[in-house]
Amino acid sequence: MAGGSFTETGKEYPGKMTVFVFLACLIASSGGLIFGYDIGISGGVTSMDPFLLKFFPSVYAKEQELVETNQYCKFDSTLLTLFTSSLYLAALVASLFAGYITKSCGRRVSMLGGGVIFLAGAILNGLAQNVAMLIIGRIFLGIGVGFSNQSVPLYLSEMAPAKMRGMLNISFQLMITIGILAANLINYFTAKIPGGWGWRVGLGLAAVPAVIMVGGSIFLPDTPNSLVARGKPEKARAMLCRIRGTEDVDLEFDDLVAASDATEAIAKNPWSTLLQRRYRPQLAMALLIPTLQQLTGINVVMFYAPVLFKTIGFGGTASLISAVITGLVNMFATFVSIATVDRLGRRKLLLQGGTQMILAQFVLGTLIAVKFGTSGVAEISRPYAIGVVFCICVFVSAFAWSWGPLGWLVPSEIFPLEIRSAAQSAVVVFNMTFTFVIAQVFLMLLCRLKFGLFYFFGAWEVVMTLFVYFFLPETKGIPIEEMDTIWGQHWYWKRFVDDGSSNKVEMTSTAV
């Protein structure tokens, strides 16, 4: 894939997509495996009777009641949801510290530390003897997820050539989907293990993606951006030559140095800098994109899929099979985004995916309303069950090629260097905050709102699609260090950046 990286701002960085960059990004994106595996494994083990009987006997007793009981409320347990959601609370706290480590020690060190801590949590969960041990293990897992989700998207965006940044960054989301699918398959097979200890295998195998991440991080190079920011310009230039496959990197290197100099001049405290008026567009995106991503309801579907399917009348094995199906759809649909994001752009995928999710959510809510009504009592036929699974697959596929990968890609590419680590930490904080809240209240809301919960998420998908249409500019093909130009050209955000002129980092080059 030779050729320059010509950008929509008119600047061309020489270089090509090298094997070195591809392999580095592939290894780094394995950080998504730990997040995806946990999302998939949590819902599976919480639908296994031996797990419920050991740790949540009251939920197990309610589950064994006759079908005449309200299906919406069978799994409504604060302690059970705390098991699932404690990880996300730990992740949002950890991401605040991860931002400092990522900035001062580099992206690679942050990924390595996250992998080690996640490994400790996996071991604790696999050996758990009581609920306290389970939740402590989940907290360790959450710290690992917080570090990896803060550092991996930054690493991918900084290593990738501008014209291929979307494709390489989405490899993080692809790894998340692979992790979810692997967990769903493991849930299905371990649920059949005689003796009822299959849940230990599922929770303990979280150590495998952690080992992959730790092993990979040891050998990864750091990004040129991070090396420049930490006062290592010679190493940064050598690394830039290596990842671009050419010695002609003066133009891009000078832009990195200019951005770093600007950072030193104005960013003594990146958190206070992020709150300045000129960074209002980036702050708004750091808050709204991860928040709206969670309000699609996707994590409800993915980490509660087996419980959700069981709730609406599927048998135990059938619910796990249905979760495997949605996991497959999730993974393969992500390839659509990889193939099209740098050609069609971010906005088109987000608008199309948002529209498809709206339709799927409202149809799904209607199907459940017609069958279960407000009483939550019904028998579900096989054809009807297939229709429900189909609607969920339509919803999951739309998310997988739009808000799933782009919810991580867009924030990681829009922040200037002086606020990049702090802003990415803010992205993870808001993402994990709403993941925690939704995970904690979902089963309670399902019990209270019933089928209306799907309409609730559908309404938010209307809001987020309108937000993209009016407020999100296109970012494809623009170098990260020139990304501030898009805000000065936007009809709304230009009022905050003075048409992008007075606050723009001046990119000068001595290259000839």
Domains, the chain, with CATH or none: 21-498 (1.20.1250.20)
Bridge partners for 220 per DSSP: none
Helical H segments across 72-219, by residue range: 78-105, 107-126, 131-159, 165-190, 198-204, 207-219
Residues in the chain, overall count: 512
Burial bucket for residue 462 (CB in 10 Å: 0-12, 13-18, 19+):
middle
Query: Is residue 395 a contact partner of residue 357, using CB atoms and an 8 Å limit?
Result: yes
- Determine the 3-state secondary structure of 40 from DSSP: helix
Tell which wins on pLDDT, 266 or 180: 180
pLDDT in tens, 133-170: 998 999 999 999 999 988 998 899 888 887 888 888 88
Nearest Cα to 442, choosing from 293, 302, 286?
302
| Residue 512 pLDDT grade (very low, low, confident, very high; cuts 50, 70, 90) | very low
Question: Nearest 5°: phi and psi at 248?
Answer: -85, 75
d(CA 276, CA 248): 36
Helix axes 403-414, 316-344, angle to 10 degrees: 40
Query: Is residue 148 a contact partner of residue 213, using CB atoms and an 8 Å limit?
Result: yes
CA 508 vs. chain centroid, Å, equals 35
Q: Is the pLDDT of residue 225 over 50?
A: yes
The most confident of 284-288, 302-306, 353-357, by mean pLDDT: 353-357
Instruction: List the single range of 162-166, 208-212, 370-374, 387-391 with lowest mean pLDDT.
Output: 370-374
Average pLDDT over the chain reads 82
pLDDT in tens, 96-130: 888 888 888 888 899 999 999 999 999 999 999 99
Q: Show the CA angle centred on residue 75, arms to residues 72 and 78, nearest 5°.
A: 120
pLDDT in tens, 51-89: 988 888 877 777 666 445 555 566 656 777 777 778 888
The most confident of 142-156, 317-331, 412-426, by mean pLDDT: 142-156
> What count of other Cβ atoms lies within 10 Å of the Cβ of residue 127?
12
Burial bucket for residue 467 (CB in 10 Å: 0-12, 13-18, 19+):
middle
- Alpha-carbon Rg for the chain in angstroms: 23
Q: Is the pLDDT of residue 458 over 90?
A: yes
| Mean local confidence (pLDDT), 32-59 | 85
d(CA 436, CA 145): 13
pLDDT in tens, 231-290: 898 999 999 999 888 888 888 888 888 877 766 655 567 778 888 888 899 889 988 998
d(CA 210, CA 204): 11
Query: Is residue 213 a contact partner of residue 129, using CB atoms and an 8 Å limit?
Result: no
Q: Show the CA angle centred on residue 442, arms to residues 437 and 445, nearest 5°.
A: 115
Instruction: List the single range of 26-30, 206-210, 230-234, 440-444 with lowest mean pLDDT.
Output: 440-444
Torsion of CA 450, 454, 455, 458, to 10 degrees: 170
Tell which wins on pLDDT, 10 or 445: 445
Bridge partners for 5 per DSSP: 13
Give percent of the chain above pLDDT 90.
28
Q: Half-sphere exposure (CA, 13 Å, Cβ side) for 201?
A: 19
| Residue 471 pLDDT grade (very low, low, confident, very high; cuts 50, 70, 90) | very high
For residue 310, CA distances in Å to 44, 190, 204, 216 come to: 11, 17, 24, 38
Instruction: Check residue 450 and give its pLDDT.
Output: 78
Bridge partners for 12 per DSSP: 6
Burial bucket for residue 445 (CB in 10 Å: 0-12, 13-18, 19+):
middle
Q: Is the pLDDT of residue 384 over 50?
A: yes
The most confident of 37-41, 192-196, 467-471, by mean pLDDT: 467-471
Cα maximum dimension of the chain: 79
d(CA 153, CA 150): 7
d(CA 485, CA 211): 41
DSSP string, 310-331: HHTT--HHHHHHHHHHHHHHHH
Nearest Cα to 421, choosing from 165, 95, 160?
95
Provide the phi-psi class of 113: left if phi over 0, else alpha when psi is between -120 and 50, else beta: alpha
Bridge partners for 6 per DSSP: 12
Nearest Cα to 498, choosing from 260, 273, 277, 272?
277
